[in-house]
């Protein structure tokens, strides 16, 4: 088989690669789309086809667009920037359908995707490295640990991107040669929560630089983390997230949904699915993104394995007004899922696990008899696997809402609503 080939791209794969065929074998080519004719170089032969590098676009698709970012192609994020809006939206829906089909769901109602716009990402983790030429800071290159020295990012909130250059200047005198760091930033309701991880104990001059930086750029809280030790260098205001009117103090670098728009779409879907029902269990609740909006109408059990976010949720629940009872439960739901017996008293269960899904917990939910289940997932494949367990256990998958908070990337969140068959 030829090493370099010409291929017509006819469809898209789950990771956003263009897919064509050569001698009857599927060929996967990144940065290509249906309608392109490309020259591609084979890198690897796998069970399901040939994985290639794009050498050249011979004839571009009619709907191909100019990428919005100068770092396109090199940067590991946003690989689908050359899709027009309609092509992208169709692909988001197709991405959900592909995962569902793999688990035998051929006929599910997939709703219109909620796609976050440009410049909406409110949390980022930037990589930094001190080199002889200064600090390189940005995102990892595609499939590599090399760092793109980013001076823009069209998907990230401008309040965060304007800090890229000042951060380089800040870290220059603090890091030693070849020292790496990670800068986590979250834009909260009270300003930016920043946590810098690096293998370096701060001296007095470093502290002054960091504190001046926080003042100059109005950073709400700046923590330095060295080998797990969290050093609160400049706490000017408590970083706060606001959920349905409840003010939750955000523990440093905690999980929040990636965009305001994504959070709103997920929350609306979850609240809507539980409307009119009684008690709700919110499993993998984090700091309470869904707990508080749900607790406007329902008594909510909020279960979470990490102590810090759950403590933040509990503290907010203790002082918030206008909510039904919130019962926080600290529990490792992988090792000790809530049992079918414990779940029986609920009318609805919401679960939003990490990427690995929640197979042990879902097996218990499937046996519980709870009338409504809402699955929120950041991995369409584990979503579909968990959905299969629920459907085999007697639930009907009513609808799936795709929520895309990572514009132009294959990452996708799904909300599935399940009803118990009688």
Ligand X SMILES: C[S@@+](CC[C@H](N)C(=O)[O-])C[C@H]1O[C@@H](n2cnc3c(N)ncnc32)[C@H](O)[C@@H]1O
Q: Which stretch, 47-55, 135-143, 186-194, 285-293, contacts ligand X (CB under 6 A)?
A: 285-293
Round to whole Å and give the CA distance between 70 and 78: 12
Among 284, 323, 383, 408, binds ligand X (CB under 6 A): 284
Number of residues in contact with ligand X under rule CB under 6 A: 19
Query: Which of 17, 413 has the CB closer to ligand X?
Result: 413
What token pair was written down for 104?
Answer: 């035998």
Of 202 and 230, the one with the shorter C-beta distance to ligand X is 230
Which of the ranges 40-48, 72-80, 181-189, 280-288 carries the binding residues for ligand X, by CB under 6 A? 280-288
77 close to 410: Cβ distance less than 8 angstroms: no
State the Cα torsion 302-420-418-350 to the nearest 10°.
0
User: What is the rounded CA–CA span in Å between residue 381 and residue 116?
Assistant: 21
Nearest Cα to 198, choosing from 215, 223, 218? Answer: 223
Distance CA 373, CA 371 (A): 7
Give me the helix-helix angle, 204-216 and 164-171, nearest 10°. 160
Region near ligand X per CB under 6 A, out of 227-235, 281-289, 294-302, 366-374: 281-289
Burial class of residue 338, CB neighbours in 10 A (0-12, 13-18, 19+): buried
Phi (first) and psi of residue 218, to 5 degrees: 55, 45
Q: Which lies closer to ligand X via its Cβ, residue 157 or residue 168? A: 157
Decide: is 292 part of the binding site for ligand X (CB under 6 A): no
Told to judge if 378 belongs to the known catalytic residues of this protein, a careful annotator would answer yes
Spatial CA neighbour of 182 closest among 196, 194, 172, 169? 196
Q: C-beta of 278: minimal distance to ligand X in Å? A: 21
Least Cβ distance, residue 362 to ligand X (angstroms): 13
Interface with ligand X includes 265 (CB under 6 A)? no
Q: Find tokens 């030829």 and name the residue.
A: 2
Q: Does 407 bind ligand X (CB under 6 A)?
A: no
Q: Does 337 bind ligand X (CB under 6 A)?
A: no
For ligand X, the binding residue among 16, 286, 380, 402 (CB under 6 A) is: 286
CA atoms within 13 A on the CB side of 274: 32
Please identify, using beta-carbon distances, which residue of 146 and 355 lies nearer to ligand X: 355
Minimum CB distance to ligand X, residue 236 (Å): 24
Q: Applying CB under 6 A, does 290 fall inside the site for ligand X?
A: yes
Q: Which of residues 65 and 334 has its CB atom nearest to ligand X in the complex?
A: 334
Please list every residue from 357 through 396 that binds ligand X, using CB under 6 A: 378
Residue 255 binds to ligand X (criterion: CB under 6 A):
yes
In the complex, least distance from residue 348 CB atom to ligand X, rounded to whole angstroms: 15
CB 286 within 8 A of CB 266: no
Among residues 77, 113, 191, 353, the one that binds ligand X under rule CB under 6 A: 353
**Contact between 197 and ligand X (CB under 6 A)?**
no
| 264 lines the binding site for ligand X (CB under 6 A) | no
SS3 351: strand
352 binds ligand X (CB under 6 A): yes
End-to-end CA distance of the chain: 56
Which residue(s) pair with 360 in the sheet? none
Q: Closest approach of Cβ 276 to ligand X, in Å?
A: 22
Q: Residue 257 CB, nearest distance to ligand X (Å)?
A: 5
- 275 Cα distance to chain centroid: 26
User: Sign (positive/negative) of CA torsion 407, 282, 245, 271?
Assistant: positive
Task: Tell which one of 79, 87, 188, 289 touches ligand X (CB under 6 A).
Answer: 289
CB closer to ligand X out of 79 and 377: 377
Torsion of CA 302, 306, 310, 312, to 10 degrees: -160
285 binds ligand X (CB under 6 A): yes
Residue 252: closest CA among 376, 153, 125: 125
Site string for ligand X, 296-335 (x = CB under 6 A): --------xxx--x----------------------xxx-
Active site residues per annotation: 378
Interaction site with ligand X (CB under 6 A)? 255, 257, 284-287, 289-290, 304-306, 309, 332-334, 352-354, 378
């Amino acid at each position: 088989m030829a090493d370099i080939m010409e291929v017509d791209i006819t469809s898209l794969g789950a990771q956003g690669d263009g897919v064509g065929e050569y001698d009857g074998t599927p060929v996967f080519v990144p940065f290509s789309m249906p309608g392109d004719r490309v020259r591609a170089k084979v890198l690897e032969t796998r069970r399901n086809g040939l994985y290639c590098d794009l050498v050249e676009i011979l004839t571009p698709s009619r709907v191909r667009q100019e990428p919005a970012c100068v770092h396109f192609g090199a940067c590991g994020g946003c690989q689908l920037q050359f899709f027009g809006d309609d092509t992208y939206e169709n692909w988001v829906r197709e991405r959900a359908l592909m995962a569902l089909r793999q688990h035998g769901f051929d006929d599910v109602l997939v709703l219109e995707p909620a796609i976050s716009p440009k410049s909406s990402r409110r949390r980022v983790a930037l990589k930094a490295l001190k080199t002889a030429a200064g600090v390189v800071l940005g995102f990892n290159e595609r499939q590599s640990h090399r760092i793109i020295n980013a001076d823009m990012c069209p998907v990230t909130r401008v309040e965060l991107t304007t800090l890229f250059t000042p951060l380089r200047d800040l870290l220059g005198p603090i890091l030693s040669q070849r020292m790496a760091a990670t800068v986590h930033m979250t834009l909260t309701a009270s300003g930016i929560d920043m946590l810098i991880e690096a293998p370096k104990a701060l001296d007095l001059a470093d502290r002054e630089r960091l504190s001046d930086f926080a003042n100059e750029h109005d950073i709400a809280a700046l923590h330095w983390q060295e080998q797990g030790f969290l050093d609160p260098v400049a706490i000017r205001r408590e970083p706060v997230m606001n959920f349905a009117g409840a003010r939750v103090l955000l523990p440093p670098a905690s999980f929040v949904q990636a965009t305001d728009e994504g959070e709103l779409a997920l929350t609306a879907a979850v609240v809507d699915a539980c409307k009119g029902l009684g008690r709700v269990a919110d499993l993998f609740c984090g700091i309470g993104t869904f707990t508080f909006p749900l607790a406007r109408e329902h008594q909510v059990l909020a279960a979470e394995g990490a102590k810090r976010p759950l403590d933040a949720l509990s503290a907010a629940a203790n002082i918030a007004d206008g909510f039904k009872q919130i019962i926080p439960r600290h529990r490792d739901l992988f090792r000790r899922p809530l049992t079918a017996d414990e779940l029986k008293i609920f009318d609805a269960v919401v679960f939003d696990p990490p990427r690995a899904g929640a197979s042990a917990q879902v097996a218990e939910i499937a046996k519980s008899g709870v009338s409504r289940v809402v699955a929120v997932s950041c991995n369409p494949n584990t979503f579909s696997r968990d959905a299969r367990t629920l459907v085999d256990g007697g639930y009907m998958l009513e609808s799936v809402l795709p929520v895309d908070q990572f514009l132009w990337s294959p990452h996708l969140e799904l909300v599935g609503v399940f009803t118990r068959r009688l």
